[in-house]
Amino acid sequence: MPQLYNKAAMTNAGLALLNKAQAGAAAIQFTRMATGDGTYAAEEKTPSALRERAGLKSERNSYAISSIDAASIDGVKLTALLTNQDPATGEALVTDGYYLNEIGLYAKEKDGGDDTEALYSVAVAAVENRDFMPAYTPGDAPAQIVQEYCARVSDAANVTIDCAGAAMLEGDAEKLLEKLTLSYDEKSGELQLKSGDKTLSTKKIAIDYDSLSNKPKGNAVSSATIAAANWTGEAAPYVNVIIVEGVTESSIVDISLSSAATQEQAKAWMAGQFADGGQEAGEVTVKAFGSKPEADIPVTV
């Protein structure tokens, strides 16, 4: 099978950032991958010519990086989801289809300003018009490409990514689930979600129990199920209405994944990218801006 892209070339700006990192003056933070439909003459595809580039010829889309893995002591493999539909909002990212003739990897100094961002590395298609990103049509399944990109760094253990807005891929979700723990500290009243030794989030829980009935008053907690069969809509955001006794139009509602959830249910919860859809008396509406869940999901409301 013909190679889709020539070997990636580190730019002069990328080399300058790498030299700074090797000198201990900065750490590298990869910010995004970008795709474009620029066409390159043979002489523009040479490593020396690509090293001079400050950007893509014709950038069309920019994607957040989903994950980073060490490929070697001085190399990393970065992954991003290239798609024609925004997985969070459901809006079209591509309204006019194009050929993926160029891919750029951008980076900046960690904790540095946006003005430190630069094209770190670039790869161009070996043959023009090889891969095509179609325009998104509402109601159709989005086009998606899981793109991996290997880059040289000074120390793979001292590199970060800016993953804000990135779609969580199935492999990333599985790795995260293996490390997730949920614990409750009765002394502080905090519910803590951790990944390994790192605390991802904490939430203060205050439930005042009636000593006679042993029922919570003030902040009520209920168990419910987001039924897979109740999702409506042909495209994201999908809508589901769950029945929760005691909820009113003015209630402050918080929904979290039940601690009794299975791995399959937890994966469906993460992939769904849920958001608040409002409420009425006895009913709470949730919206899924990601994948439509195919499993019943137990939740705590």
Locate 29 and state its tokens.
Answer: 């933070």
User: pLDDT tens, 219-235?
Assistant: 567 889 999 999 999 88
The bridge status of strand 208-209 relative to strand 216-217 is: antiparallel
In this structure, the dihedral spanned by the alpha carbons of residues 12, 33, 108 and 179, taken in order and rounded to 10 degrees, is: -130
* Between 177 and 300, the higher pLDDT residue: 300
Point out which residues pair with 29 in neighbouring strands: 108, 160
Residue 212 has pLDDT above 50, yes or no: no
> Quick one: pLDDT at residue 197?
63
| Cβ burial 51-65 (10 Å sphere, 16+ → b, else e) | bebebbbeebbbbbb
Confidence at residue 151, expressed as pLDDT on a 0 to 100 scale: 83
Q: Is the pLDDT of residue 281 over 50?
A: yes
Percent of the chain with pLDDT over 90: 31
Helix axes 170-179, 263-272, angle to 10 degrees: 130
Does residue 1 contact residue 111 with C-beta atoms inside 8 Å? no
Give the pLDDT band (50/70/90) at residue 153: confident
Backbone torsions φ then ψ of 30, nearest 5 degrees: -80, 130
**Across 122-131, 169-178, 276-285, which has the greatest mean pLDDT?**
276-285
Q: Is the dihedral of CA 107, 111, 113, 116 positive or negative?
A: negative
**Span 130-148, pLDDT tens digits:** 688 999 998 888 888 888 8
45-59 confidence digits (pLDDT tens): 999 999 999 999 999
The tokens describing 181, both together, are 């723990």
Would you give the DSSP letter of residue 127? S
Instruction: Tell me which residue has tokens 């509602």.
Output: 253
Those residues whose C-beta lies under 8 Å from the C-beta of residue 211, and which sit 6 or more positions away, are none
| 220 alpha-carbon distance from chain centroid | 32
* pLDDT one-digit tens code per residue, 77-123: 888 889 999 887 889 999 999 999 999 999 999 888 888 899 999 99
CA–CA separation, 120 and 78 (whole Å): 13
Please, is 272 exposed, middle or buried when counting C-beta atoms within 10 Å of its C-beta (0-12, 13-18, 19+)? buried
Residue 211 has pLDDT above 60, yes or no: no
DSSP classification of residue 45: G
pLDDT at position 21 over 70: yes
CA 91 – CA 83 distance, rounded (Å): 11
- Compute φ and ψ for 16, nearest 5 degrees: -65, -40
**Which residue in 131, 151, 162, 153 sits closest to 62, CA to CA?**
162
Q: How far apart are CA 38 and CA 133, in angstroms?
A: 14
Share of the chain above pLDDT 70, in %: 74
- Rounded alpha-carbon distances, angstroms, from residue 22 to 52, 54, 152: 21, 21, 12
Q: Which residue has the higher pLDDT, 189 or 150?
A: 150
CA distances (Å), 117 to each of 108, 110, 113, 162, 255, in order? 4, 10, 8, 12, 37
